Amino acid sequence: MIIQWATQSYKHASKPISAQRAVNCYAEAQPKDAKTQVALLGCPGIEEFTSCGNGPVRGMHVMGGLLYVVSGQRLYSVSSTGIATDIGGNITGADVISMDDNGTQLVIVSGTNGYLYSTAIGFILISDTDFNDANTVTFMDQRFVFDWKDTNKFFASDVLDGSSYSALAFASAESRPDNVQAVILNKQVLLVCGTKSIEPWQNVGAANFPFERIPGAVIERGLAEPHAICKEDNTVFFMGDDRVFYRLDGLTPVRISTHSLEHLWQSHSTFDQLFCFAYPWQGHKFVTVTFPSTNTTFELNIATGYWHERESWDLNGRSLGRWRGNCHVTAYDYELIGDCVSGKIGHLSHHTYTEFDNTVQMLATSPPIHSDRKRVFIPRFEMDIEGGVGLETGQGSDPQVMLRISRDGGRTWGNQQKWRSMGAVGAYQTRMRWLKLGQSREWVFEVTISDPVKRTVINTHADLMVGT
């Protein structure tokens, strides 16, 4: 019997329903004539590209073909060869920031301050008295646009000048009595995101302040945190004020999180500093959601709609809880990831199975295996994992897969760890089998791969005997 392995993390509040997890791996649909319809692939590793200061890397942006990075409280430019140049400092805070440009000026919002960099004037603090506290910035139709922190307003710069502001260049989002948290541009529509609503605005060409709310288009859903929103796949993704994750279909919010995740998120005491970003990878598009308050990261595969978890490890083999990825940008033909624990910037790699040289563990837990509450005997359990992936030397020369078994639906796990070799380099026919596993009414299997090798779970095979 072929047993379909976990396709996503769906750890239900009631574990007997489902205790499946997918950590540092994602499901990929295969053609009809393939060996399996769904394969489980390891997430890409991160190979270091450069380093900027001590970090963390709080944001990255490309202007004029050159990469700019905020690491710690400093702004850096980074060339295509990875040479980092310190431009300026004293950027307040330590959390993720917002950046955008008008072609010649780069504007950064961090905490309550705004900063501007251009080759003409260098790096400056925006000191115009009509600049207001803000969380986010976007550029639309020759103006930088900002939320006005702790108010129901948003404001804009003068035309093509992020250093100059007018006391009259603002508007109020008044559909609901809530404060504006963020602004984001999508398909030439300015989304003004409040705590209880999202208002779409458009440019109508007025001289002093060109933006006007689109009549009858208010979205009756707010934003959980200022940075809990991102763009990918020609639309917007965001964490709502109800702790449900949404995708905009036009101007309609569509729920894309699962009940399992929502139950978990509802248990979080706070969503402070929650942020998300998106990135493409080998035809896939992923949305990453990180909760700094609980040190957890969840990731959505947009193509499949499946969620998996991301988790990083340090050099001592200790889990960091969350993924190290803090932000993303496409630059220099790389998908670049900024590190949350250092000033390192790395590029995603399909042939690197570490993150900044730290081993990454892949964990996958099966859905429940049962037969109408009858005893199920398993004399043979075999995993079809791509074999022969061992490295020439060092850790991973004889890569191992470790199996744990639960006989009560994932509530508890046996103490015995059952290891099998994935095969040294070139040993493609290596079989990973476990024999005489006994009986249970509610089987759940869990596999872990911690060696820095390619990870692909194709299928699971088992001999099942059903008793009473």
Q: What is the pLDDT of residue 119?
A: 94
Quick check: 2 pLDDT over 80?
Answer: no
Listed range (8-17, 199-208, 385-394) with the worst mean pLDDT? 8-17
Predicted pLDDT at 347:
98
The per-residue pLDDT for 239 is 98
Q: Identify the pLDDT of residue 7.
A: 87
- Residue 440 pLDDT grade (very low, low, confident, very high; cuts 50, 70, 90): very high
Region 2-43+362-466: CATH code:
2.60.120.260
Considering the chain, what is the average pLDDT of its residues?
94
Q: Average pLDDT, stretch 410-422?
A: 89
How far apart, in whole angstroms, are the C-alpha atoms of residue 341 and residue 406?
35
Average pLDDT of the residues in 92-105: 96
Record the tokens describing residue 278, joined without a space: 């998106």
Nearest Cα neighbor of 25 from 37, 13, 12, 8 is: 8
Model confidence pLDDT, tens digit, residues 332-356: 999 999 999 999 999 999 999 999 9
Above 80 in pLDDT, residue 278? yes
Average pLDDT score over residue span 452-468:
92
In the structure, how many helices (H) and strands (E) does the chain have? 1, 44
Task: Give the pLDDT score at 417.
Answer: 80
Q: Is the pLDDT of residue 52 over 80?
A: yes
Answer for the pair 299, 288: CB distance below 8 angstroms, yes or no: yes
**DSSP letter string over 122-150?**
EEEE---TT----S-EEEETTEEEEE-TT
Q: Which amino acid is at 278?
A: A
pLDDT of 445: 92
CB 74 within 8 A of CB 110: no
Structure tokens at 337: 């990831």
Query: Which H helix or E strand runs over 261?
Result: helix 259-266
In terms of pTM, does the model score above 0.85? yes
Q: How confident is the model at residue 263 (pLDDT cuts 50, 70, 90)?
A: very high
Question: Among the listed ranges 10-19, 102-111, 246-255, 294-303, which one has the minimum average pLDDT value?
Answer: 10-19
